[in-house]
Structure 1
Amino acid sequence: MKKIGIIGLGMLGNAITLHLLDSGFEVTVYNRTKEKALHVKAKGAYVAESPKEVSEKSELVIIVVKNAEAVKQVSFGQNGIIEGNHEKLIVADMSTIEPSESKNISKKFQEHNIIKLDIPVMGGPNVAITGDLVMMVSGKKESFDHCEKVLNTIASKIFFLGESGVAHSMKLAMNLQITMLALALSESITFVKKLNADPKKFLEILNSTYFKTGMSENKAYKMIEGKYDTTFTLANLKKDISTITNTANSLGVKLPMISKAEEIYENAVKAGFGEIDYTGIIEYLKKINE
């Protein structure tokens, strides 16, 4: 499998495309805003006019778009993926969407004799560019086996989780974790500063215990300084938080903390912090404590 299609050239899709090109794959891309494809075109990617053309030219099409509606549009809309179907085609969805939507989309692909895998990932463009994402996969095992070489190029760790929808369930649970960690660090740093204590000493103490995380060891120092290398925007995390709460509500599961987090992140987006890194939620806390 050498011919790969990428639909969606946000920060993550762009980085994955560049890494696949560097790894010797033939990559065809599509993005609704063509200007976003210029950089990867200069590196050797073929820029298609539609998702249909991507699927015609690819053995594996990876979808990396905003939400379930966008997945359905590029898949089943006019000049969508299904219109370029051929015998070797497999579709893999990396978007963060509801597990129920994932299952419904998989069923619709099956109606067109197309296999779909779920392949959400953890990690941003900074690790995607080197192929060090962590990937969760669900769907047909034989299709995963067929794509495994490509997926191992994209991710350094892969967890196969079984039937369709499970990988997206795990992805939402992981994003719940990063939401809470970002908020906990932001509140602790804000609290320590208000007590006229050194927040860097707070991090030094925290990181000497088993309560430390990758976020507390790395991004938290930038949070103190108000410097952000945006790998995943605050607005995008807010969108994923809403996906988590919608999924929980549909299951009748009460998750009071993520519901409160959704309110906080929504207020932060309204306050103008949506396009900075999600750990910039600390900037919203600064604002409401002025």
Structure 2
Amino acid sequence: MTGEKGVIGFIGIGVMGKSMAGHLLKDGYSVLVYTRTKEKASELIEAGAGWMETIEELASQSDYIITMVGYPSDVEEIYLSEKGILNSAKEGTYVIDMTTSKPSLAKKIYEAAMQRHIHALDAPVSGGDVGAREARLSIMAGGDQEAFDACMPIFSVIGQNIVYQGEAGSGQHTKMCNQIAIAAGMVGVSEAIAYAKNAGLDPENVLKSISAGAAGSWSLSNLAPRMLKEDFEPGFYVKHFIKDMDIAIEEADHMKMEVPGLTLAHSLYTELQKKGEGDSGTQALYKLWKS
């Protein structure tokens, strides 16, 4: 399968990956997809994407490879196993891990890729399902500047706020900053909605005032309305957010840094997961105040 813009192999067609791959397909790239469950890729295949039976097959036929999977363990297996990406891709291929993963793993993949003359970037994203659907994700990238510049046309199709952060692992470290800020913010958003209800106010009317003021945030504008509608479908899974917070806490420990706000949010989300909400969206945190 060929295309003037090159062939992109996409691994991980989940809540966000499906939209991201779709934008690239519409923009004129040839897109090859692989996911553990073929049915998840059915719409993309119908739209013209090619289905690959194995990671090895996908990697050997791609000029660029994007991964958007669940956990660091998935990333490590996909990239570093015997039949993984780095042992199957051609020299000169660009590999872009957009999963939120460990900075140390990003560096490990970068170094292994260098030995095989493959260009590796860690480029996690922020913006959730809405940002992915509307092609306005924030993309934070680590790796070589030259590789980042070469992949900028791809990033521009799926995102709007695209920033090169530095050497390998820098993208993942930046994503940890993002998740730390969101974690404490989600506690505040949930408390604010609960407070408004307990005070006898109209929460939707309260949002009109506070979302446009100093308290304004993406979470307040996009997730608080979902809380009020009791829409807890995942734009981003609770279980994946806990994974991100685990990574951030681990990295903070390495730096001998205290993160009390993150620690509190982590404990609350862990409690939420124990209540069976791991597959709900992060806005389900509000249920701890609602129940």
TM-score (norm 2): 0.93
Shift of 1:215: 2.4
Report the equivalent of 2:89. Answer: 85
Give the corresponding residue for 1:158: 162
Q: Which residue of 2 aligns with 1:100?
A: 104
Please give the residue correspondences for 1:1-290 in structure 2 after superposition, counting only pairs within 5 Å.
Answer: 1-287=5-291
Q: Secondary structure at the match of 1:157?
A: strand
User: What is the distance in 2 between the residues matched to 1:55 and 1:31?
Assistant: 13
Distance 2:279 2:222 in 1: 20
- Superposed displacement of residue 40, structure 1: 1.4
Q: 1:222: how far off?
A: 2.4
Does the 8 Å CA contact 1:50/1:80 hold for their aligned counterparts?
Answer: no
**Percent same amino acid at aligned positions?**
28
Q: Is the 8 A contact 1:52 1:82 kept in 2?
A: no
C-alpha contact 2:20 2:135 (8 A) present in aligned 1: yes
Q: State the 1:167 CA deviation.
A: 1.0
Once the two structures are superposed, what CA deviation does each residue of 1:240-262 show, in whole Å capped at 9, x if it has no partner? 11111111112211111111211
Give the gaps of 5 or more residues in structure 2.
none
Instruction: Tell me the distance in 2 between the aligned counterparts of 1:191 and 1:128.
Output: 31
Number of residue pairs the alignment of both structures matches: 287
For structure 1, the residue ranges without an aligned partner over 5 or more in a row are none
- The one-letter amino acid paired with 1:124 is G
Q: What TM-score, normalized by structure 1, do the two folds share?
A: 0.93
State how far apart, in whole Å, the 1-side matches of 2:38 and 2:249 are.
33
In 1, Cα distance between equivalents of 2:204 and 2:133:
30
Partner letter of residue 253 of structure 1? Answer: M
Kindly state the Cα deviation for residue 47 of structure 1 after the two structures are TM-superposed: 1.1
